[in-house]
Amino acid sequence: MDPADVDGTRWDTEWSTEQRREFRQALEVRRRRQLRGGQIIAGLLIVIVATGVLLRLAPDWWVPAVGVVALAGLVFRLTNWKCPACGERLPTRGSGKNCPGCGLPLD
């Protein structure tokens, strides 16, 4: 498949302005959700560790809780950060300007 080709239509020439706007809006929603989810997971991790350390609780419960929250964050990231057009996982560190699956621009 041509990198600019999704569902038989070329992104650069055959997608309507409305389709492009919907794609960019869906991508922005995923970006905001990714940021908010990361903030929530980080906050939970800080609260769990601070509670365990400051209250001198046995690490038998709060250390596994940190692992569970970290795993939940990873699962969230893997399920949320996908291309709205093809469902391929997107690059995370700015390593790509285009989707690795369909080639659509991510900016």
Q: What are phi and psi of 88, to 5 degrees?
A: -75, 145
φ and ψ of 98, to 5 deg: -130, 155
Residue 39: strand, helix, or coil: helix
> What is the value of pTM for the model shown?
0.75
10-residue mean pLDDT profile of the chain (107 residues): values are: 48 75 92 95 97 94 95 94 89 77 81
Which SS3 state, helix, strand or coil, does residue 16 take?
Answer: coil
* Nearest by Cα to 52 from 38, 44, 41: 44
Three-state SS at 106: coil
| Per-residue pLDDT, 35 | 94
